């Protein structure tokens, strides 16, 4: 008699986290506690093909900030997995590589409704949609329309968190005190005073 090994339901929350902020953490916490994930990996992207490279803080620094911000919560993990993949990185290629490397996990891709609205522009979007569970969280101004016959694609009722890394960076440049938008562990990091 064969024993089926239950795979860990691992959420992949991919982004530049430039820097990580309370919106990221609150959403990730909600997904672990209320959306059925066993764990969630903050997958720091080395370079999003749709973003200007000059706006990004150093890759390793962004990884270290995420690691510091999530310390102590056992369901979170910082991942630099994409740092070793060929650039530019694409979601479908990353998920395939994760599957090969971690066969004990079932990866669930996490994306905002804003990105879901343009999913057809993504590399091999049809394969992504048909091959991986996807959790879509709400974003202001975007309706989530789910395709028929794909039960593994779900809209989740996560709280709407309209905080952005762009807002954080601009506020810091303008000399604003935005300490409560940042995780306590990274609020006083020297890199944030140099933005």
Measured in whole angstroms, the distance separating CA 142 from the mean position of its chain's CA atoms is 18
Contacts of 169 (CB under 8 A, 6+ apart): 18, 19, 55, 195
Which stretches within the chain are classed as H helix? 22-34, 59-70, 91-101, 113-116, 125-131, 165-173
Residue 38 has pLDDT above 70, yes or no: yes
Q: Please state the rounded mean pLDDT for residues 76-100.
A: 96
Average pLDDT, whole number, for the chain?
Answer: 93
Q: Please state the rounded mean pLDDT for residues 168-182.
A: 94
pLDDT of residue 51: 60
| Burial environment of residue 177 by CB neighbours within 10 A (0 to 12, 13 to 18, 19 or more) | exposed
Per residue in 105-159, pLDDT (tens digit) is: 999 999 999 999 999 999 999 999 999 999 999 999 999 999 889 999 999 999 9
Distance CA 87, CA 30 (A): 31
Residue 62 has pLDDT above 70, yes or no: yes
> pTM (2 decimals)?
0.93
């Amino acid at each position: 008699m064969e024993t089926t090994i239950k795979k860990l339901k691992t959420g992949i929350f991919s982004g530049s986290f430039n820097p990580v902020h309370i919106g990221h953490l609150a959403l990730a916490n909600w997904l672990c506690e209320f959306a059925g994930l066993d764990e969630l990996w903050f997958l720091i992207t080395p370079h999003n093909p749709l973003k200007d490279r000059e706006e990004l803080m150093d890759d390793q620094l962004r990884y270290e900030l995420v690691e510091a911000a999530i310390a102590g919560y056992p369901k979170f993990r910082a991942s630099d997995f994409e740092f070793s993949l060929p650039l530019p990185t694409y979601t479908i290629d990353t998920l395939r590589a994760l599957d090969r490397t971690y066969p004990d996990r079932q990866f669930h891709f996490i994306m905002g409704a804003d990105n879901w609205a343009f999913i057809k522009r993504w590399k091999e979007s049809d394969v992504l949609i048909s091959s991986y569970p996807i959790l879509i969280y709400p974003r202001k101004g975007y309706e989530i329309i789910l395709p028929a016959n794909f039960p593994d694609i779900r809209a989740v009722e996560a709280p709407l968190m309209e905080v952005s890394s762009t807002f954080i960076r601009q506020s810091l440049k303008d000399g604003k005190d935005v300490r409560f938008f940042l995780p306590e562990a990274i609020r006083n990091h020297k890199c944030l005073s140099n933005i």
